[in-house]
A and B are shown apart, each in its own frame.
Chain A
């Protein structure tokens, strides 16, 4: 009995020793990896922040050095006052476009997703048509042509409907997949109680879609807010500035005003940063939706 116990004791002490050795090596490896990741992903952020605080000659050196004089207020004030406050105007425009598009996307995609999920045959036939929207970029000139014919080129409704159309596929697929998890018995019970399709959808189904709706809000708002390409094609014009296009103001043929450029980069990164802080999990969930199941 006693020898058996000793044997066990010996074994555990050996195990602890090897574990310690491994953990020391592991600790070194881990620290190195953390350090590398911090350098690769952290230095660019530090670079932007520190240079947005320098004066124009200091920032033009593009170094990581600590600023000789802090120009925080002066730089940000200059960015915000430029061209009669074009940056403010851009924030307003981007907000209008983002909020309106998302409202439309949620409404049309949740309704479409509900029907497509409940009528499987329909969904199968339309599958490739919907997938196309995920893969194919919009055609420039034909889209402008359509917008012009409708009198919507360079207008808010035009860009809002366009953004809604371009984000339709993704949101619709999310809604379709989620509606499938809501039991059909619920619909039947509602029908028994005398609900029409409108009541069924808006009073019973739509509130249950809240998790997807919040994912769609967070993801689409980031994408539409960050959209540069479609704003450039379909929403041109001096008054139609959106946040991504304000960066243009600080680069030019006479050289780049780096201190103002980086101040503007930070300013326009604030909304995604806020979303990231509060909805980190939602964003990740949305981006990985469907990835696990294939």
Chain B
């Protein structure tokens, strides 16, 4: 790098960003590794080694967070990918009301998660809720969506899919629109049908969009807090507690060291799951 470049692009321009990002994000995040090994009251700390982590793996009410977070992240990711791809293919075909449909599918993404959570808690009310009333019309006794420990987590995941599928859809639409039209024409000339064009052109060539949706949905799912907080508060019992909500609960109860250990575990969890998938997906990139 010659001196004129150095003069033209001074590193001083990075200083404001570096100050804000380091002080308020990188520094606390790295300090978390130290404080996760302490008994901590903010004013005072005592080093206790890996005790906090041991407790996280031993106590059932804390350990359940790992399982639930995994289930939640992969369920919401799967739902968003499958539904989003389906909706995108549909919305890219020759239909009328395209713009109206795109808008109505996308709009929930812009709403407040808490508002959506409260609204769906009302819709999922066991006796008065519209969902169960609609099911009763066709003779099905609807479950207690948020009160049944077995399905509460999945009910929250469904709501997440409802809210987030719009983003997946617009990303897929952008990916599909970027596929050159002559691929489809060539397949048509060779006598391929609509399903074949989906399988052999749309699916492989919208791979970059697919990767983005998978990564975004996974990371979003792994760090979810507000939706669970608004809908179940982690209950009934601890059946729908995610790592992020457990961390908050420990913090609110004053166990600062334990909460910080939870934050570190969440950090490692996101890194260990999202990072290898990121690498794997990017390795098999298809070139247009």
Q: A140-B251, A143-B24 are in contact. Are A62 and B212 (CB under 8 A)?
A: no
Partner of B29, one of A139, A258, A283: A139
Contact of A99 with B by CB under 8 A? no
Classify the secondary structure of A's interface with B: helix
Q: Looking at the complex, which of B136-144, B145-153, B169-177 is the stretch in contact with chain A?
A: B169-177
Q: Is A34 an interface residue, CB under 8 A from the partner?
A: yes
| B9 and A114 contacting across the interface, CB-CB below 8 Å | yes
Q: Are A197 and B13 in contact, CB atoms less than 8 angstroms apart?
A: yes
* Separation of A132 and B207 alpha carbons in the complex (Å): 23
A292 proximity list for chain B (CB < 8 A): 174-175, 178, 208-209
Nearest CB on A from B148, distance (A): 19
A-B contact count (CB 8 A): 249
Asked whether, in the complex, the Cβ of A107 is within 8 Å of the Cβ of B16, the reply is yes
B284 to chain A, nearest CB (A): 11
B112 A244 Cβ-Cβ under 8 A: yes
Among A40, A168, A187, A226, which residue has its beta carbon within 8 angstroms of that of B20?
Answer: A168
- Closest Cβ of chain A to B122, distance in Å, is 5
Contact of A284 among B119, B170, B247 (CB under 8 A): B170
Within 8 A of A (CB), among B186-209: 207-209
Q: How far is the CB of B109 from chain A (nearest CB, A)?
A: 8
Known contacts: A34-B97, A287-B170, A288-B170. The answer to whether A272 contacts B104 by CB under 8 A is no
Do the beta carbons of A265 and B115 come within 8 Å of each other?
yes
Nearest chain B CB to A271 CB, angstrom units: 10
On whether the beta carbons of A141 and B35 are closer than 8 Å, the reply is: yes
**B23 & A165 in contact (Cβ 8 Å cutoff):** yes
Instruction: Report the interface size class on chain A.
Output: 35 or more
Q: Are B17 and A172 in contact (CB under 8 A)?
A: yes
Contact indicator A142/B114 (Cβ below 8 Å): no
Interchain CA distance A121-B101 in the complex, whole Å:
44
Known contacts A121-B1, A294-B212, A145 near B13 by CB under 8 Å: no
Q: Interface SS of chain B: helix, strand, loop or mixed? A: helix
* Cα-based distance from A148 to B101 in the complex (angstroms): 47
Most central of B42, B108, B244 by chain A CB within 10 Å: B42
Closest to B166 in A: A41
A143 to B31, CA, bound (A): 9
Q: B35: which A residues are within 8 A, CB to CB?
A: 141-142, 145
Query: Which B residues contact A (CB, under 8 angstroms)?
Result: 1, 4-5, 7-11, 13-14, 16-18, 20-21, 23-29, 31-32, 35, 40, 42, 87, 90, 95-97, 101, 103-115, 118-120, 122-123, 125, 128-130, 133, 162, 167, 170-171, 173-175, 178, 207-209, 211-213, 219, 223, 225-226, 229, 244, 247-248, 251, 256, 259-260, 263-264, 266-267, 270-271, 274, 282, 285
6 further A-B pairs in the complex, CB-CB below 8 A; given A62-B129, A168-B17? A139-B31, A168-B20, A226-B113, A265-B112, A292-B174, A294-B285
Between-chain CB contacts (< 8 Å), 20 pairs: A30-B96, A47-B123, A47-B130, A114-B9, A115-B10, A135-B270, A139-B264, A141-B40, A142-B263, A145-B31, A145-B42, A164-B20, A228-B229, A233-B251, A265-B118, A272-B112, A276-B110, A280-B103, A287-B167, A288-B173
